[in-house]
Structure formats: C-alpha cells, structure tokens
Amino acid sequence: MTSFVLRVTTRYLLPLLLIFAVFLFMRGHNEPGGGFVAGLIASAAFALYAIAFGTDKARRVLPLDPRVLIGIGLMVALASGVMGILDEKPFLTGIWIKIPIFMAPPLEIGTPLLFDLGVFLAVTGVTLTIIFALEEEV
C-alpha cells in the first residue's frame, strides 16, 4: 500500500483537478486552455488516483473504460464535423448559435466546442489507456 498522505491528498485532489480540467476546457476558446490541456489534466488526476489506490479502484471511479473513451471522443469530433455538412457547408465548418442572456452579452455556442469535447475525451482516453495498461503490467 502507498503512503497515507498520498492517499488522503489524492482523495481531495481528484475532484479538484477534474473541476480544474472542466474549467480549462470551458474557457479554452477565449483564454488559455482547451480540450487538449484539459484532457491531460484529467488524465493526470486519474493517473494519480491509480498510483495511490491501484488501477482497479481507478477504473471503478472512471465511468467508462478508457478505450471506450477514445472511441467516443473520435465519434464526437466526427459528429461535430458532420453537422457542417447537414447545414450544407463543408465538413468541419463551424456552426454557431447565439443564446441571449438577460443583461449580458449573448452566449455563443458552436460546433467547435463539441469538437473540443471530442479532443478532450480522446486525449483522456489515450493517456489513461496507456497508463493503466503499463501499471497493470507491473
């Protein structure tokens, strides 16, 4: 078993790091951040958890097998591209909608956000697939 300190800190760090990943992901389009970095943070969080508690526990915390995550990520990215075609524009053309918000500039949401989500999931899946597989080999 690993050290007590590591296990306790990890227990609190995991949610914090995941929230941080979501934060980086959401701000990515206008401020430093984005799906790739967010994916790395999320992987680091689970990797830390796996080191502290073992991969079995880490897999249980993770809602999906990381290999499945890769596939979902690629599909999401692809789907965001196909939306362009459905709008009769070239593949991967960004499509944006404005959501009006009271007393504030309208919120703009577009397919690139979905694409970035795909990147986020794929990167997390790739990193964790490798890290878990290496750890289980030990």
User: Which chain residues interact with another protein by CB under 8 A?
Assistant: 24, 28-37, 40-41, 43-44, 47, 51, 67, 70-71, 73-74, 77-78, 81, 85, 88-92, 94, 96, 108, 110, 112-113, 115-116, 118-119, 122-123, 125-127, 129-131, 133-138
> What is the DSSP annotation of 111-129?
HHHHHHHHHHHHHHHHHHH
Which CB, 8 or 75, lies closer to another protein? Answer: 75
Give CA 116 to chain center in angstroms: 9
Beta carbon nearer to another protein, 8 or 85 = 85
4, burial (CB in 10 Å: exposed 0-12, middle 13-18, buried 19+): exposed
As separate numbers, helices (DSSP H) first and strands (DSSP E) second, the chain gives 5, 2
CB closer to another protein, 8 vs 96 = 96
Smallest gap, in angstroms, from Cβ of residue 60 to another protein?
19
